[in-house]
Structure 1
Amino acid sequence: MTVAGLLLAAGEGRRLGRPKALVDLDGRLLVERGLATLTAGGCTPVHVVLGAAHDEVLAAADLAGATVVLNEDWRAGLASSLRAGLAALPSQVEAVVVALVDQPLVTPEVVRRLRQAYDGGAVTAVATYGGLPRNPVLLARSTWADVAAQASGDTGARAFLRANPDLTTPVPCDDVGAPDDVDTPAELATLRRRLLTQS
């Protein structure tokens, strides 16, 4: 079974003050960390959707092994990046794990668990933490058209998943990852302190 990875990394990071893809965390750009997580989790191919400051990202980041998808419509929000990414995946891909660039505590094991859920027959699978659905998510190809149609603004697959709970398999990941995201300088500072105490 071919399960691809899709990293959404096109936003400008307005509240953060710079594109999240270019944020250095523990010596590595967030876009590089996200690519490595999907790759180590067994996804192939891996597509990275860029938008804001894409020239800077391409110049600064090591994205070897990834296919870069440019979302010219990135200002329209995350949904536009999800649509661009899904549309770019090759025909042999049967499912995709969609991850966000600003959640660096997601680990390869989270990705592997989503892939295992798909191997077990799941149509969609969602990583949960504390019982709550977050990211990443896995989407079988049969859902992509509906997911793309229902995505809007900064909401990606959530609308489809909420409308189709019977198709969604929750995958607990509390023990192997965390959904903390980086939206503000304060959140970034907190995350850096957390990583420092773990090292």
Structure 2
Amino acid sequence: MIRISGILLAAGESKRMGKPKLILNLGKSNIINATIDNLLKSEIYELIIVLGHEAQKIESSLSTQDKRIKFVTNKNYREGMSTSIKCGVLTTSKESEAFLIALGDQPLISPKVINRLIEKYQSSKVGIVTVMHKSLRGHPVLISKKYVKELLSLNGDIGARDLLKQHLDDTASIKIESSEEFFDIDRTQDYEELKKIYDRKISN
């Protein structure tokens, strides 16, 4: 089986929220635990959780003891998402064949979607697979290890967007029907909406 390393970006400052959003309550747990649970239910080989702002508080809130999890603290998290991606990539196992980059505040991304990304990566033989709703691409994104040097050269807060633009001819995507899968949390209003969506999905 192909070895995919999940890299969960959980180092941000939550500036627009004004408080650590990843430990806000969601269902019977919190946002980051719900996100981690979905990743661990997928076919990833390991999960690197990149912490930064409020690292100790976030780590102590986690409920899982899964042996696939590794923690790394990004001391340069204020310099943008690219520093967390680099931290995560450098922490992955040597056996890893590709990196699944996910966001800590996307608890609605299901294991099914993650596994579809992995299946598409294997069947299409391309180097990059993204999730797409209509014409909008989003996270998580799956990137081959052949792009490791470019990932380690990223700068600022743009994540892997530049990498995708440069390699559109080596990129495939899976389509999702609902924009809810993309839902992330930046403001209090987003959080209130997330709780409604999450509760509805759990009750169905």
Q: TM-score range, shorter-chain basis?
A: over 0.9
1:162 equivalent in structure 2: 165
* Cα separation, 1, equivalents of 2:111 and 2:50: 19
Q: What corresponds to 1:41 in structure 2?
A: 42
Q: Once the two structures are superposed, what CA deviation does each residue of 1:142-170 show, in whole Å capped at 9, x if it has no partner?
A: 01211231x33221111100111001111
- What letter matches 1:191 in structure 2? L
1:123 equivalent to 2:124? Answer: no
Q: What is the deviation of 1:175?
A: 5.7
- AA aligned to 2:174 is V
Following superposition of structure 1 onto structure 2, how do residues 1-199 of structure 1 map, counting pairs within 5 Å? 1-65=2-66, 66-120=69-123, 121-149=125-153, 151-174=154-177, 178-198=181-201, 199=203
Task: Give the TM-score, by structure 1 length.
Answer: 0.93
Confirm or deny: 8 A CA contact 2:133 2:179 kept in the other structure.
no
Indicate the larger mover: 29-38 or 184-193.
29-38
Q: Secondary structure at the match of 2:181?
A: coil
Query: Is the CA contact (8 Å cut-off) linking 2:50 and 2:71 kept in structure 1?
Result: yes
1:19, CA displacement in angstroms? 2.0
More divergent stretch after superposition (17-26 vs 158-167): 17-26
Contact conserved, 1:26 with 1:192, CA < 8 A, in 2? yes
Shift in Å at residue 174 of structure 1? 2.2
CA distance in 1, matches of 2:30, 2:126: 32
Instruction: Report the TM-score when normalising by structure 2.
Output: 0.91
- Aligned partner of residue 178 in structure 1, secondary structure: helix
Instruction: Tell me: CA distance 1:8–1:196, structure 2 relative to 1, closer, same or farther (3 Å).
Output: same
The alpha-carbon deviation at position 63 of structure 1 amounts to: 4.0
C-alpha distance in 1, partners of 2:21/2:79? Answer: 16
Rounded Cα–Cα distance in structure 1 between residues aligned with 2:21 and 2:127: 30
Q: 1:13 and 1:175 mapped to 2: Cα distance?
A: 25
Looking at structure 2, the residues matched to 145 and 177 of structure 1 have their Cα atoms a distance apart, in angstroms, of 33
Distance, in Å, in 1 between the alignment partners of 2:158 and 2:126 is 22
Q: How many angstroms apart in 1 are the aligned matches of 2:58 and 2:132?
A: 30
Asked whether the equivalents of residues 122 and 169 of structure 1 are also in contact (C-alpha less than 8 Å), the reply is yes
**Displacement, 1:28?**
1.9
The runs of 5 or more residues in structure 2 that have no matched partner are none
Identity %: 26
Any conservation in 1 of the 2:4–2:44 contact (CA below 8 Å)? yes
The one-letter code of the counterpart of 1:134 is G
SS of residue paired to 2:58: helix
Cα RMSD over matched residues?
1.6
Question: Is the Cα–Cα contact under 8 Å of residues 80 and 153 in structure 1 kept in the other structure?
Answer: yes
Q: How many residues align?
A: 198
Rounded Cα–Cα distance in structure 2 between residues aligned with 1:71 and 1:77: 10
